Amino acid sequence: MTNILVTGGNGQLGSEIKDVALKYSNYNFYFTDSSDLDITNHEKVEVFVAENSIDVIINCAAYTAVDRAESDVALSDEINHLAVKNFSEIAKDQNIQLIQISTDYVFDGTNYQPYIESDKTNPQSVYGKTKLDGELVMKQIKPENSIIIRTSWVYSSYGNNFVKTMMRLGRDRDELGIIFDQVGTPTYARDLAKAILDIIPQLKTKEVEVYHYSNEGVCSWYDFAKAIFELNTISVKANAIETVQYPTPAKRPLYSVLNKSKIKTQFNVEVPYWKDSLIKMLEKIKE
């Protein structure tokens, strides 16, 4: 039996892992959140891992309030960077696997073709910088059989996200302005959860490897919203607007399409098309 610690257990990805966990009879899960385990406290994490004979840590915990992070730099750094340092040191000392979840925000969004793992990073926000610092410290410490998975535009039937916001606003308002010049790929957290759990038995690395995972296809936030409205028969008028018309404290990448060839080839991961996954998520909400 493989003992797996999932941090951020009540977040979007953690909740989806909890949902699909029943299909993995050879795994025993420990789901924690900030009230159960302070991931910024090295000693507490070390004790928890030792007492529960943890074999794998999946770190889904993150400071994801992108705009708030611009003024809450210290806490963002503690959770997105220093906690990863704790996990990396403990993983190395106790010879356990670490899967760190990262983000497209480590890039500046100026590419014109899908980002591969070795492309130059250049975060434009505190959130992106602290997530990149987490990646760098993990690579520096080098826990074996451990990987970083960058993802983008995550949504789920759990928690707050773009899909739920569009459904709520679409029913409350007559028209909405939605950004059309930021392009990427939505990621259904359930698909990512399955990919992670399928990858675990295949992890054999000396260096910390980076992989990209999002759903297949490309769209803008405007396209994504239009699909949400159509699938829910919401008749709100959607107006395409530019990023400059909707200023935010944190700068968003204009282009954050991720190339998934590496994860698909090395781990035989199947990646669903974004709209097919959106349909499945909406069906789950209606159940």
The catalytic site residues sit at 127
Length of the chain: 287
Q: How buried is residue 78: exposed, middle or buried, by Cβ count under 10 Å (0-12/13-18/19+)?
A: middle
For 109: left if phi > 0, alpha if psi spans -120 to 50, otherwise beta; the answer is left
Which string of DSSP letters, residue by residue, matches 72-113?
-HHHHHIIIIIHHHHHHHHHHHHT-EEEEEEEGGGS-S--SS
Q: Hey, CA dihedral for 182, 105, 8, 249, is it positive or negative?
A: negative
Long-range contacts of 165-173 (CB under 8 A, 24+ apart): 166/224, 166/225, 166/228, 166/229, 167/228, 167/232, 167/234, 169/236, 170/225, 170/228, 170/229, 170/232, 170/234, 170/236, 171/234, 171/236, 173/236
Phi, psi of 253 (to 5 degrees): -70, 135
